[in-house]
């Protein structure tokens, strides 16, 4: 499909590009003219997504890496800067899910999820910042979750990693103020991706998953319009829920129970 090319000349790295939100975001940037580097662990999936984009005439480059391992995350960023001479936008859309409730969890499960969902983005971001701060421009996009603002009774590694990523994003935005490097925090509700395929959600408007392409559109829009935050979908209802939860955690918890916002896992 012909697009506007509004990200032409941009070098964009998407981590978590083999599936879901990351895949949709990488495809959207590539189709808008960006030189897009797709990263995740599954080399075969990255190759076939990049190949499909290239066959449509867009620029897409697979670079497999496991970003829970610091050396691999840093090698990815180094390769991008050496190959393309710059890095304009980094999208951290990496995510795994643990399966046990907090009362049944093994600390090792929590550590594993933290390494991927929190330290993966931290390793990529800190390395990318060296290049971005040198150039005095760039955008870091961190895909957290509404669950990085209010826990929804899901497994502890996932919830804690999302709260940690929200804190990291909030801190970064403030520390980077005035440097030319911007930060976008992305806080989706349920999104129709493999990550939540085992979750049994109630049939209600509040928990209806949206397509990952809708999140990708919001991410590109936020980057283009200098937005600090994306809450999607239903930002007004979510903000009311979050405000009530801040005023009274018990009221927030009541909403989670009353509308079964967690579903069953
Ligand atoms: N789906 C939802 O309802 C929802 C809601 C709110 C927020 N989110 C957030 O959105 C982000 C993307 O999730 P998604 O829903 O799109 O899930 P997804 O379809 O399962 O995608 C997750 C991506 O992360 C990659 N990944 C996992 N571990 C990795 C590692 N160690 N190194 C590099 N890449 C790794 C996966 O690829 P490989 O397996 O090939 O490595 C995959 O590309 C996550 O941060 C998630 O928390 C999702």
Q: Show Cβ contacts of residue 130 under 8 Å, excluding neighbours closer than 6 positions.
A: none
The residue whose C-alpha atom lies closest to atom 43 belonging to ligand 1 is 16
Q: For a ligand 1 pocket test, name from 13, 94, 145 the mutation site with the most ligand atoms within 8 angstroms of its C-beta.
A: 94
C-alpha distances out from residue 138 to 11, 85, 227, 251, Å? 10, 13, 14, 39
Catalytic residues: 158
The response to whether residue 190 sits with its C-beta less than 6 Å from ligand 1 reads yes
State how far the Cα of 10 lies from the Cα of 93, in Å rounded to an integer: 18
Q: Which of 168, 186, 84, 175 is nearest to 131 (CA)?
A: 84
Q: Give the per-residue pLDDT at 265.
A: 86
Q: For a ligand 1 pocket test, name from 14, 15, 20 the mutation site with the most ligand atoms within 8 angstroms of its C-beta.
A: 20
Burial of 69 (0-12, 13-18, 19+ CB in 10 A): middle
Q: Which of 179, 107, 171, 176 is nearest to 144 (CA)?
A: 171
> Sheet holding 181-188: strands in order across?
60-62, 35-39, 11-15, 89-92, 138-143, 181-188, 229-232
Q: Which of 231, 209, 233, 217 is nearest to 24 (CA)?
A: 217
pTM confidence score = 0.98
Q: Which residues of the chain, if any, have pLDDT below 70?
A: 1-2
Q: How far is the CA of 27 from the centre of ligand 1 (A)?
A: 15
The residue whose C-alpha atom lies closest to atom 8 belonging to ligand 1 is 145
DSSP conformation class of 116: I
Per-residue pLDDT tens digits for 30-56 = 999 999 999 999 999 999 999 999 999
Per-residue pLDDT tens digits for 236-249 = 999 999 999 999 99
Q: Where are the alpha helices (DSSP H) in the chain?
A: 20-31, 43-55, 70-84, 107-113, 120-135, 156-175, 212-224, 235-247, 249-258
Q: How many residues does the chain have?
A: 265
The residue whose C-alpha atom lies closest to atom 23 belonging to ligand 1 is 16
DSSP conformation class of 210: B
Q: For a ligand 1 pocket test, name from 38, 95, 159, 214 the mutation site with the most ligand atoms within 8 angstroms of its C-beta.
A: 95
The response to whether residue 40 sits with its C-beta less than 6 Å from ligand 1 reads yes
The response to whether residue 143 sits with its C-beta less than 6 Å from ligand 1 reads yes
Q: How far apart are the first and last CA of the chain?
A: 38
- Shortest-distance atom of ligand 1 to CA 66: 32
Q: Give the per-residue pLDDT at 218.
A: 98
Domain annotation for the chain: domains and CATH numbers: 11-258 (3.40.50.720)
């Amino acid at each position: 499909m012909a697009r506007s090319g509004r990200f032409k000349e941009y070098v964009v790295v998407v981590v978590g590009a083999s599936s879901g939100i990351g895949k949709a975001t990488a495809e959207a940037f590539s189709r808008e003219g960006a030189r897009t580097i797709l990263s995740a662990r599954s080399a075969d999936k990255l190759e076939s997504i990049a190949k499909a984009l290239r066959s449509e005439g867009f620029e897409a480059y697979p670079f497999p890496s496991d970003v829970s391992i610091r050396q691999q995350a840093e090698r990815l960023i180094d390769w991008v800067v050496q190959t393309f001479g710059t890095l304009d936008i980094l999208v951290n859309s990496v995510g795994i899910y643990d399966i046990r409730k907090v009362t049944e969890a093994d600390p090792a499960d929590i550590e594993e999820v933290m390494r991927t969902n929190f330290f993966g983005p931290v390793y990529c971001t800190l390395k990318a910042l060296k290049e971005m701060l040198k150039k005095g421009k760039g955008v870091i996009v961190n895909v957290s979750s509404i669950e990085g603002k209010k826990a929804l009774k899901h497994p502890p590694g996932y919830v804690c990693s999302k709260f940690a990523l929200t804190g990291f994003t909030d801190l970064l935005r403030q520390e980077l103020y005035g440097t030319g490097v911007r930060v976008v925090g992305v806080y989706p509700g349920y999104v129709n991706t493999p990550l939540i395929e085992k979750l049994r959600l109630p049939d209600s408007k509040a928990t209806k998953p949206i397509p990952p392409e809708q999140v990708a559109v919001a991410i590109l829009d936020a980057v283009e319009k200098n937005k600090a935050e994306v809450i999607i979908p239903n930002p007004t209802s979510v903000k009311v829920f979050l405000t009530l939860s801040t005023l009274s955690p018990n009221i927030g918890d009541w909403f989670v129970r009353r509308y079964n916002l967690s579903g069953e896992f």
